[in-house]
Amino acid sequence: MNLRKEEISTLRTLANEYMEIASLPIQREKMELWKAFNRHDNTRPMVLINQLPWNELNQSGELSCVASDPFIQKIEFFLRSTIYKWNHFPVDMVVEPILTIPYSTQNSGWGVNVAQNIVATDKNNSVVSHSYNNQLAEETDLDKIKDMEITLNKSESKEWLEVANYIFDGILPVRQAGGPFVHLGIWDVLAERMGVENIYFDLIDRPEFIHEIMKRMTHSALAGIRQMNALGLVDTSANTCHCSITYNDEQLPDFGAGEGSDTHHAWGFGMAQLFTSVSPDVTEEFEVPYISQLANEYGMMYYGCCDRLDDRMDIVQKIPHVQKLSCSPWSNREIFAEKLRKDIVMSNKPSPSFLAEEIMDCELIAADLTRTCNAARKNGVALEMILKDISTVRYNPERLTKWANCAMKVVNNY
């Protein structure tokens, strides 16, 4: 791996800035606050911002990377993006005084690739709309689904660690953990390989065909999970799961202090977003049996994303080890909070649409967030609010800062 002196100098400068932030006392204070929150200690609601439209935020060039090597570029963007978030909308994020780099691994995947048509791109040539071709249309297509194979490239992993230690020596401690990823939201995977409408028709017309797909996809995911565990490739010290911060007294009591290197000591997350438009009975028949098999491989589970769950709370709360449930804009938050078990966190997703309006109305945002806080407080449930899936801020990055300030003002009243 050849690095120019200018690249190394830039990376070390970024690492110094990152470490200055990570060394602030507030990082440990926020970590302790998250631990209290995750043990349901009646803290105020917590706030996070994630999954950003980075293509719209680089107005000043502070997110532009200079590294040419893909691996080093990922590290550089991590540093730049973390610094950017801290400077503009930190809310309750925690910046750890450690740089985690992954092992070099490869996942063979599900055996079924995505075939898509790009419908539209924005001015930065980022894809904003696409459609998917059905890769599982016939019974004969079932044989396309293969068990995942996880492979570890030991020599490249060693090189990555050595290079990172060389670049950041004396500035930022480096640890190596994790690498492969197994998506537990199988319905999201299928949406990209079949198309949502095709799935809906098959749920009605060919339910047994869909069950066979789910059996094979679940078997494939389990194969990947068990290989990750055998290779010791799970980062149990990762402090986030699906944009939610996961410090806790038992498993992650401090920075980098996770136990073991297998999924039974880690968080997993699942979802079935397209099931927002199906009945709760369909969720119970076609999702819960399969996600439950996967959830049993994990110590803790976060479930849901943009899916509506308020009308099927009794069903999704049966998922093993579930500790956080997503309350999306498509859920009635009052009903959600009322039906939520007190030992599960209400992980609310405020609507990002407020940031896409022609005029951003902070009073309307405050009223919306207050409504959520009131619902959680009335029912005695722990509440985190994660602004995510932000498709656009109309190329006005300051909108995120305004939203952050508004949100922190609201939650500090609770």
Structural domain boundaries in the chain: 5-411
CA distance 130 to 119: 5
Predicted confidence at residue 33, as pLDDT, reads 98
Predicted confidence at residue 335, as pLDDT, reads 98
Per-residue CA distances from 57 to 62, 127, 351, 399 (Å): 9, 16, 19, 10
Residue 44, by phi and psi: left (phi above 0), alpha (psi -120 to 50) or beta?
Answer: beta
Instruction: Tell me the mean pLDDT per 10 residues along the chain, length 414.
Output: 92 98 98 98 96 94 94 98 98 98 96 85 67 94 97 97 97 96 95 96 98 98 98 97 96 95 96 96 98 98 97 98 98 98 98 97 98 98 98 97 98 95
271, 326 contact by CB (below 8 A): yes
Predicted confidence at residue 409, as pLDDT, reads 98
Predicted confidence at residue 391, as pLDDT, reads 95
Phi, psi values for residue 105, rounded to 5°: -135, 165
In terms of residues, how long is the chain? 414
Token pair of 43 as six digits: 């803290």
One-character DSSP codes across 217-253: HHHHHHHHHHHHHHHT---TT--EETTEE--BTTTBS
Give me the amino acid identity at 147.
D
303, 325 contact by CB (below 8 A): yes
Predicted confidence at residue 118, as pLDDT, reads 81
Q: What is the pTM for the complete model shown?
A: 0.94
CA dihedral of 100, 106, 108, 114, whole degrees rounded to 10: 60
Residue 277, by phi and psi: left (phi above 0), alpha (psi -120 to 50) or beta?
Answer: alpha
48, 387 contact by CB (below 8 A): yes
Largest CA distance in the chain: 62
338, 379 contact by CB (below 8 A): yes
Domain range 5-411, CATH architecture? Alpha-Beta Barrel (3.20)
